[in-house]
Structure 1
Amino acid sequence: MRLTRRRNLPEGLTLDKGERVLAVSGDTVATDAALHFQDGAGFTRLPWERVEQAVWKDGLLVVREVGGDRHTVHLTEPGSVPETVRERVTSTVVVSTHVKLPGGGVRIAARRPARGSGEPRWTLVFDPGLDPTDAGLLAQAEQAMEELRRQTGL
């Protein structure tokens, strides 16, 4: 992975102390800790462990956060940003499994912060069509998550 010099950073972007730049494309910067992109009012910093999915197609990087928020980033000259995003997001996943529930299922994942060692953050992502506020489904998903925690020791 090629490291990019800080002088190539977009104007107005501030990185955390010690944050290393891995790839730059215009106003989009991938670091060892987060994806930074222009959102109209400044820069959004999205830590890798908060990225549920990222898809690169036709010059657009579409990023979905855990919890469902979506961001679309246009990359005219993508360079290594798409590959870096994929690698960084994948590196945060400790465990990920899909569990069947009535009418669909839920993806249960544990992810660590990209930098340093921290406690994993557990997430439940329900299949389309399932209501994550349904108390019965939520209880079943949480029970499955607890079982996975016990099995993995996380």
Structure 2
Amino acid sequence: MIWSRSPGRTSVPTLARGERELARAVAEDGTVLVGTRDAFHLVPANDGEARRIPWEQVEAAEWEADTSTFRLSEVGEWGQDRPEHSFVLEDARLLLEMVHERVTASIVLQRDLQVAGGGVRVIARRAPHGDGALAWVYEYDAGVDPEDPVVRAAAAAALHRAKEEVGDL
């Protein structure tokens, strides 16, 4: 049978009803990484808790070819450590392509503005299936103080213009 599951293949307990696996990779430490249309799933090999990270909550993903290291960071709160995950992968081409496509699909709008100390991005994100409210986030360059009243005013004005642009007022 062509579509049979391989013996010992790890199931993904965090898959939502109707969600199906599109790409998979197994990290050097045994963690199973799975991508679906709606989320990125981590299934630790050591019986740790499986995680489901919706694509609109993935801030960035990167690949270091020299070390075969895949890093994924989650959207975080200003002033708090951003959750980051790092894995050494043997063959991750399909997973990497799918991660790039899904994260990109979750971005509805991004506007950049320059402020004292660097830049701020106003970003609207939505689940790839598109049936949720827009999530609006600010992303500040290192050196930009989000508590600075001038920065706050500029960011708020940019957010208002962006919301007008997509009809989300």
TM-score by length of 2: 0.79
Q: 1: distance between equivalents of 2:129 and 2:160? A: 25
**Equivalent residue in structure 1 for 2:120, among 106, 109, 125:** 106
Kindly tell me: are residues 15 and 149 of structure 1, through their superposed partners in 2, closer, same or farther at Cα, counting changes over 3 Å? Answer: same
1:60 aligns to 2:65 (yes or no): no
When Rg is computed on C-alpha atoms for both structures, the one with the higher figure is 2
Q: 2: distance between equivalents of 1:50 and 1:84? A: 15
1:36 aligns to 2:41 (yes or no): yes
In the alignment, structure 2 segments of 5+ residues that lack a partner are 27-31, 77-81
Partner AA of 1:64 in structure 2: S
Identity of aligned residues (%): 35
Q: How does 1:81-92 map to 2 (within 5 A)?
A: 81-92=95-106
In the alignment, structure 1 segments of 5+ residues that lack a partner are none
1:45 maps to 52
1:147 maps to 161
TM-score by length of 1: 0.85
Kindly tell me: are residues 64 and 99 of structure 1, through their superposed partners in 2, closer, same or farther at Cα, counting changes over 3 Å? Answer: same
Q: 1: distance between equivalents of 2:72 and 2:14? A: 21
Q: 1: distance between equivalents of 2:4 and 2:51? A: 18
1:120 Cα deviation from its structure 2 partner: 0.9
Query: Which segment is superposed worse, 88-97 or 38-47?
Result: 38-47
